[in-house]
Structure 1
Amino acid sequence: MESGRDAISTPTDLLAGHETRGVRRRVGAGVTSITTIGDPHEVAVFTGDAAEVSAAPGGGGGFIQELNSGSRHSARHRIATRCGRGLDVAATGVFLLQPTLVVLLSGMEILGGLLGGLTKAATVLGVMLLVYRILIFRRWRDEHAQVPRFIICFLVMVLELSIENCVVWLVSAWDQRKYDNIPGLQDNVAIGVNALSAISPMARWLVTRRAANILHFLGAQLALAFSVLWDQVPYSGFGIMARVVLTVAASRVLRMACFMATVLPNPRPGCYRRRFPPVPPGLWDTIKLGYTTIRGFGGCNDLIFSGHGAFWVLAPLAFRTYYPGHRLSTWVLWLALVHACVKDVVDEQHYSVDMLLAIVVTWAVWDWLAWVYPAGESVLLRRPVGSPPDRLNPGVVGLILVCLAIAGVIVIGGKA
């Protein structure tokens, strides 16, 4: 390679040891950089301010990116053009269709039962379609490359959640005023929303409806991850979920530190008598009791910050990061998050400061963990036309099933 001239590299030279992740390095004068992202059949050669992505010899067509090396907006726009609109419709439907039908069919018992049947039928059909797409999916090599990363992140999350499950019980059991009817703290957001509801029928209607719950947000995250089967996003589903689950673990470590450091009164006085047994006399027996129940609804103190809010916000964050562009689903997710947070405050499940900190802290952790699966460097380029499909690994399918089962136990079994 000569300084001051355009650089030409073969895929073998450029991609050795880096087949499944982006590579960036500086070269001589006159050449900005050489970058490859994810696909051994394509290389990007940057000369000056622009770049052309071309297929390797024998690789077929290729396409032009014309990527301005200093324009993040331009790169984001190009990624947006790779995103399909089917995910936009599906994710929006997850949040809007069922709540809308429930409102429209309110008071109609027959139609209400029909809605439940249709929901179950749609779920069965969706699972069958998902299995079919898994069997015919062509880019398994891209997913296999991210499996080790995902497994490590998932195991870290499971370990954290198991410890937190016990700690939630311990902070309630060790509360020196757990049997006192201590009034909750003043929440100005709750006061303002209740005052608005008293004068506005629309506001009152909004705060009395639970439009979205944890299953909706979980469904949106899974829709994003599985959308790779339909080529809706140019990323790996395992890569996306690796960052999601590690963010869950890291943010909730901070949450445990917060609510163990300072014991705050529950918004609903008298919680401990209603929900928890007497504290065993021994330390070991007390700790063992913390692992007998999945405590999806938390303990009997204000667990600052909200665990539900910290999980809910991951859906709009993931869509914003890996599904860029002006997408209806992303805005619906943010609005659903705001409504769910306000609803929790009005229902005295959390204080408004809990919801605010849940969003801010989790957002900060999400950005901090960008290195787990960086959106800008992990884009999967198109494969040449006619390239053979990758072989499906049964172990990967088994991993998907095991992880879905664990998620179901945590969310549904824990009544979260």
Structure 2
Amino acid sequence: MRSPPISRRRRPSRGGSVGLGIAAIAYVGIDYLRHLSPSWHELLQPALWAVLAIAAVIRVPFYKHWSLELRAAVPFILSMIFMLSALLLEMISVRSVTAVLGLDWHNATPPLPDVGQWLLLALNEKLPPILVEIMRARIIGLHHFLMLFIMLGFSVLFNSVEAPGLGLAARYMFTMGIGRLLRAVAFVSTILPSPRPWCASARFQVPRDPHPWAQKYYVPYAKDSNAIRHIIQHDVAYGVGGENVVDFQPNWGSMNFLADFLRPTVSEGASPWYYLLKRAGGGCNDLLYSGHMLVAVLTAMAWTEAYGGYTSVLIWMLVAHSAQREIRERHHYSVDCVVAIYMGVFLWRMTRLFWPIKDNSRYKRLNKLEKVQNGLVQAAKDDDMDRVRKLLEEVGEEVVGGVGEKPKSGAMWLFSGATIFFTIVVVLLAFVLTSDG
């Protein structure tokens, strides 16, 4: 009976390697000790990070796919630049949509009705108290999902996921960059009121009055239904705005054009323009869709595709827990979390169509194996192990081409060391900069 083509056979599951799953659960569990027992948290968290870092460094000399990592380095760097550029544009947009209508609008505009939050409040009255407390618990945050992905990328050193790790990271950052750009376009297009009306007054120093642009095109029509009907009929702005206060103009040199978007106050004008972006955080008015949930979903999709197993199911449960907590604590409306979930799934699936870094060598190897499959089957039937070994060596020589070699040259050792050092620095920066969510 003829065996099925090799490329159609089911790929072996990598979920059987439980080490990565245990490390992920340990990381989330130990980090949650900060709420239960801060003293144990201060003791165990540095110990866990030390164990993970030492284990990764020890595995570096035995890693056999540095050639693949080297090929993925350029896409990785380009993806990082693209993602950072998208984040910069998003931060400018966050500050802009918060400042354009002024603080008075934030204080006076009521939040939108959110059926999702009503449902969660109703469940609080129906579910057992212990379950409600679990749903309220701050088990998982933004920095957890980032760290879980970094752990996934490092796991190539232990053969838990398929190499190259830099290829997986490049796809993750590229997908996140696209998602951030689409998110900025969405929340800039229509400004939605904050689920937390007090947020802007507590966090931002922006003028109380709207920008002159909004004074002309929004203020005259905001509370007058007849005026809105009139502007629809004539398609011409005709109203007179309120008090047209001239905005403060800082001395930012070539970046002065950002003043209309960032609207600094007099006290902020002496600071560089990027100082305002550092204070922007996640903004205050509603940002459709949720950036936190986009990161969570991309991490879950990466785990599901690259690793699988029970840990992926657990991470999806943490995604659901994070979503309901975003709604419960009024960081986002329900629609923001729902849209972020299917946008994350869609974008990850979409990038898979044109992201060959991870699968190129595997597909080439499978194609070559298909060509020699009949010869392998016949040699196995004849119990000719020398023939089997020769055919497999042909596959290795033609397809792998040195991919499975340990770093031997000085340049490859330098690249491997720099990669590990750079990644550990990124881990520390991500942990410090996102620890507050």
Q: When the two structures are superposed, what TM-score results if normalisation uses the length of structure 2?
A: 0.70
Q: Does 1:366 align with 2:293?
A: no
Q: Could you say if the C-alpha distance between residues 81 and 354 of structure 1 is closer, same or farther in structure 2, counting changes exceeding 3 Å? A: closer
2:318 aligned counterpart, secondary structure: helix
Given that 1:181 and 1:270 are in contact with CA atoms closer than 8 Å, whether structure 2 keeps it comes out as no
1:220 Cα deviation after fit: 1.4
Corresponding residue SS for 2:169: helix
SS class of match (1:372): coil
Higher relative contact order by CA 8 Å / sep ≥ 6: 1 or 2? Answer: 2
Asked if 1:93 corresponds to 2:26, the answer is yes
Structure 1 residue aligned with 2:418, among 398, 402, 411? 398
Structure 1 or 2: more helix by fraction: 2
Retained in 2: the 8 A contact 1:316–1:333? yes
Partner of 2:141: 213
Superposition pairs for residues 5-404 of structure 1, below 5 Å? 50-51=4-5, 66-68=6-8, 74-75=9-10, 78-80=11-13, 84-96=17-29, 98-99=31-32, 106=36, 112-175=38-101, 178-200=105-127, 201-279=129-207, 281-282=248-249, 283-285=257-259, 287=262, 289=273, 291-294=275-278, 297-324=281-308, 327-370=309-352, 371-373=354-356, 377=360, 379=362, 388-391=405-408, 392-402=412-422, 404=424
Mapped contact 2:199–2:284 kept (Cα < 8 A): yes
Shift of 1:396: 4.7
1:281 is matched by which residue type in structure 2?
F
User: Deviation of residue 208 (structure 1)?
Assistant: 2.0
Query: How far apart are the structure 2 equivalents of 1:409 and 1:296?
Result: 18
* Aligned-partner residue type, residue 319 of structure 2: L
Q: 2:112 touches 2:195 (CA, 8 Å); kept in 1?
A: yes
Q: Distance in 1 between matches of 2:54 and 2:415?
A: 19
1: CA distance between counterparts of 2:349 and 2:336?
Answer: 20
1:299 counterpart letter in structure 2: G
Identity rate, percent: 24
Contact 1:235–1:379 (8 Å) recurs in 2: no
Partner of 1:29: none
Structure 1 CA distance for aligned equivalents of residues 186 and 107 of structure 2: 22
- The amino acid that maps onto 2:355 is V
Any stretches of 5+ residues in structure 1 without a counterpart?
Answer: 1-47, 52-65, 69-73
Structure 1's 133 and 228: CA in aligned 2 closer, same or farther, altered over 3 A?
Answer: same
The one-letter code matched in structure 2 to 1:389 is K
Quickly say closer, same or farther: Cα 1:394–1:175, change in 2 above 3 A.
Answer: farther
Amino acid in structure 2 at the alignment position of 1:298: G
Aligned to 2:113, the other structure's residue is in SS state coil
TM-score (norm 1): 0.73
| One-letter code aligned to 1:154 | M
Q: Cα 1:179–1:357, aligned 2, differ >3 Å: closer, same or farther? A: closer
Is the contact between residue 153 and residue 242 of structure 1 (CA under 8 Å) also seen in structure 2? yes
CA distance in 2: counterparts of 1:82 and 1:195, whole angstroms:
38
Distance 2:40 2:276 in 1: 37
Secondary structure at 2:108 match in 1: coil
Aligned amino acid, residue 247 of structure 1? T
Q: Which amino acid aligns with 1:166?
A: I
Give the direction of change, closer, same or farther, for the CA distance of 1:186–1:248 in structure 2 (3 Å limit).
same
1-structure distance, mates of 2:135, 2:15: 38
Larger Rg belongs to = 2
Specify the SS of the correspondent of 2:133. helix
Give me the whole-angstrom Cα distance separating, in 2, the residues matched to 1:393 and 1:175.
55
In structure 2, the gaps of 5 or more residues are 208-246, 250-256, 263-271, 366-391, 397-401
